[in-house]
Structure formats: structure tokens, C-alpha cells
Structure 1
Amino acid sequence: MQRFNGKVAFVTGAASGIGLATMTRLGREGAKIFAADINAGQLAKEVAKLSEEGVDIHSRTLDVTDEADCRAAVEQCVAQFGKLDVLCNIAGMVLTKNFADVSVAEWDRVMTVNTRSVFVLCQAAMPHLLEAGGNIVNISSAAGLQGLPYNSAYCASKGAVLLLSKSLAVEFAGRGVRVNAVCPGAVDTPLIKGLQIPEGADIALYGRMSPLTSYFAQAEEIAGSVAYLASDEARFVTGSALVIDGGQTAI
């Protein structure tokens, strides 16, 4: 499929995991890609691979906690390609800790990376998306729908991303911009592989984080859903929370 011929997509978190899978999927479907990530070395390697495949791709090292950097990245994308059709907010982090051990600084960092960056990038991109009749796909989480133990900051941040997406969907539906969120559960990515069980944690509670399936999702499966929501096939879909969690939130 070449659903994104002539389209420009801005993807954060593009150096690994869901972000990498998404920029690869969109690029192979014809999109011009502006890839952003804080990991400059890994980003350069992945961008080079896609460029060799013939994808029109440019990149920028981006610290999503820096408002000015986020706004400058959007303007660089538009200067490079002349427009912006799709914004994919995928960069994120997780913090698994006993609630009593979460510092204010840690709370603030999770909220800044996972939530404030989405707000800033959506705000910066919106004028260009309005001009192009584009759309936004934000990565929320099953943790934005269901309370998970030892994930207070992460749950709060992803719940905020989900309702931010719904609010924008309502505000801009009549102006031609769609906004949706994807809510993955357990995905086989470097992010989830780095999780550590907090000291003294009740292991039984971890059942709330488990899919009903015997396996985790692959990043490419989430990317496929992002591509659907970002494509014209989903022209009547806005304000949705597409849950891809192997049944985690079904019980």
C-alpha cells in the first residue's frame, strides 16, 4: 500500500521501538518522514537505513522536554518539506516505583516527557495541520485507561495524553483536523525490557499489567494501527482510543 504518497509525517521517538516501527511503516507507504529522537547516534543509523531504501527522510536530534526545541523542530520539518500532514507523538518514558518513593523531580520528568511534550508539539503543529487538513496520532497506553500498580506517574501522564487527544478532536473536528490516540498494552520494545520490579512489590498485582494472550505485541503491530489512523481510510475516525492490549483492560 502507498497510502501516504505526497504526505509529510513528523515522528518522535523514532530511533527505537514503536517510533522506529512507525516511521518505517509510514516511509515504506510513501510518506516523507521527519524523524526526531534524543538518541542522535541510533537515530542516524535508522534514518540511514530507510534512506537507502529510497525513503525521503530527514531527522533532528530532539529533546522533547525542551519547548523551544520542539517548536523549532516542527518549523524545520515544514521548512524542509513545505507542509505537515501527520504528527505522531511517540516519544515517552516509564517509571515503575513504589508511590512513596517517587520524587517530585521524577514525577515532573515523566509528565514533561510523556504529556507536556505532546501538548507543545500538537500546539506547534496545529497551524500547519489545519492548512493541510492533516491529523495527529498520539501514543497513550492501556495504563491511561486502567490503574496499574507502581506506575502512578506513568498512568497519570498517559491518561492526560488520552483526554488531551479527545479534547483536541472535539475542538478541531469542524476544522478538518483529526486527533486520535493509540493505547498499547505490553509491547516488546526496549522500554518494557528495561522495567524493574520495585522492592517489596506485590507480585500478584502485576497481573493487572498482563495481557490475556501468552505473548506481547510487536512494535510493528502498533505501527500498523498508527498508520491506519493517520491514513485517509480513517477519515471518519477522530477522538478515538484504539486499545491494543491483548485483553489487558477487558477484565
Structure 2
Amino acid sequence: MPRESSVEDDLAMSNGQPFAGRSILVTGASSGLGAAAVRRFAAGGGQVYAASRDQERLAAVAKSCADLPGAVRYGQLDVTSADECRAAVAATVDAFGRLDVLVNNAGRHDFRITTDVTDDDWHHDIALNLSGAFFTAQAAIPHLLEAGGNIVNVASVAGAMGEAYSAAYTAAKHGIVGLTKALAVEYLDSSLRVNCVCPGGMDTPQAQTIDVPEGADWELIMRVAAKRGLMDADDVAAVVVFLASDDAKAVHGSIQYVDAGHLAG
């Protein structure tokens, strides 16, 4: 059943803390969009469990939130491991006693010429960009149903179009879109909401370290670039946090393109 509102909730909302008393798990939280989402949830009073492989960067993210109304704890998560996905959900519930929001953000875009992709490359890319979101959601859903919570999956514009030298990544991000729709339909008769954000290019550490394979056509790669250039990750995080909030209580099963107009043409 959905959590009932209270006087404390109303006061928190009026003080700009819409996530006060709520627990949020953010995967891939050590940089970029994940880190920006952690800070926005903490600014809204949320209790955030930030999960990633990079503990040093997670510590820095948590430190940057020290003066915010919410609380941030962090821990290890390699989403290519189903066991670690389940453990991250359990750690969040252990830390805060509940789980209200799951943000499936972890992922990485590696460019590879299709004929050079190894078996291990393919399986790793699918595990990192799709399977991890499934296993984390699977573990989280019982807690989210109890709390009347929601899931925000992070895909990409690659979930709506093809990207050169990105067969596994594009397939995985289309899968995230499909996963979102499947869960939304399966849980129509419950309080659980499931939505998806498809960002375009963002100015993140990953974007600054793109490794283009030898012989690749740079013009094909740049076909996915928006005319307005790279977006600030915090602007995309604002949409993630909106979807997770009560302001989006009527939004379920939606695919939100946050791409500075790239897919409009």
C-alpha cells in the first residue's frame, strides 16, 4: 500500500524537502548523472544509498552532500553481479529501514566495431547496461510495493535509435526501455510506478574519455550529438528526481527523452 501522508510530510514539502523520510538507492552514483541525482535527492531531504564500484569517488560524493538536509551512505556495487545487485538493495533497507525509490543508473558506453566484439565484450556490456537493472529491480520491488515507491530506469537516446559501433550498448538500452514498459504493465494494479529517462549526450567524465576504435567513422559517431551540445548532468538529474517525486504520481510507464531536442527532428 502507498505510504500515507502526514503532518510531518506536509511540513517537509513546505520546507523544500519532498523526500524527507524516504529512502533512495542510486546505482552508478560515483560520478556524472548518478552523483548529480544523489545530491538532488539529499537536497530534498532524502536518505540516499549511493552505490558503485569506485568507493573513493563515492566518498567524495557523500562529502559534497554533508551540508544538505538528507543523509548519504554509500557502498560497493558491481551491477554485472546479480548477487551484488541484491546485496545493494538489502544494504539500503538495512541502512534506512525501507526503500522508496530505485534509480537504475549504472552503465557505460564503450564503442566497438561490431566484428571486433568478443563473446566476453558482449556479455559484459549486456550485464552492465541491462541485466544489472533487472536484478536490482527484482530485489527492490517487494520493498517498493510495501512503501508505495517507484523505479526510475536510465536508458539513453540509444534506447530509441541506433548508434554506430555500439551494438551491445544500443541493444541493452532498448532493453531498458522494454523492461520499463513490461514492469509498468505488470504492476498496473499496484501502487508501484516505473518510468524511464533517455538522456542524450551529457558532459560527464565518461564523455570526456571516449575511446574511439581505430578505423571508426567519426561522423557516424557524432550523428547522436545534439545541435545544442552536451547537457549538464544536473539538468538530467532534475528530471530523474521529478519522476521519483509525488509531483509525478500520475506518471507511470513513461519514456522521457531528455536530449536537448535531438530526437525531435
| TM-score interval, smaller chain | over 0.9
The answer as to whether partners of 1:208 and 1:248 remain within 8 angstroms in 2 is no
Deviation at 1:50, TM superposition (A): 1.4
Corresponding position of 2:258 = 244
Cα deviation, residue 121, structure 1 = 0.3
Deviation at 1:114, TM superposition (A): 0.8
Aligned length: 250
Matches within 5 A, 1:43-192: 43-192=58-207
Query: Deviation at 1:7?
Result: 1.0
Percent identical among aligned pairs is 41
1:6 and 2:21 are equivalent in the alignment: yes
- For 1:222, the equivalent position in structure 2 comes to 236
Query: SS in structure 1 opposite 2:260?
Result: coil
- 2:206 alignment partner, SS class: helix
Whole-Å separation in 2 of the counterparts to 1:207 and 1:230: 31
SS in 2 for 1:246: coil
Task: Report the AA paired with residue 213 of structure 2.
Answer: P
* RMSD of aligned residue pairs (Cα, Å): 1.2
Opposite residue 150 of structure 2, the aligned amino acid is N
- C-alpha change, 1:2 and 1:52, in structure 2 (3 Å) is closer
TM-score (norm 1): 0.96
1:202 to 217, 236, 240: 217
Tell me how far 1:199 sits from its aligned partner. 1.8
Moved more, 178-187 or 57-66: 57-66
1:42 and 1:232 mapped to 2: Cα distance? 30
Partner SS for 2:189: helix
Q: Which runs of 5+ in 1 are unaligned?
A: none
Q: Which residue of 2 aligns with 1:211?
A: 226
Shift, 1:52, TM fit: 4.2
Aligned partner of 2:195: which letter? Answer: N
Distance 1:204 1:76, change over 3 A: closer
| Contact 1:10 1:33 (8 Å CA) reproduced | yes
Assess if the C-alpha contact under 8 Å between 1:144 and 1:162 holds in 2: yes
Q: Is the 8 A contact 2:110 2:211 kept in 1?
A: no
User: Secondary structure in 2 aligned to 1:175?
Assistant: coil
Stretches of 4+ moved more than 4 A in 1?
A: none
Decide whether the 8 Å contact of 1:144 with 1:156 is kept in 2. yes
- Secondary structure of 2:235 counterpart: helix
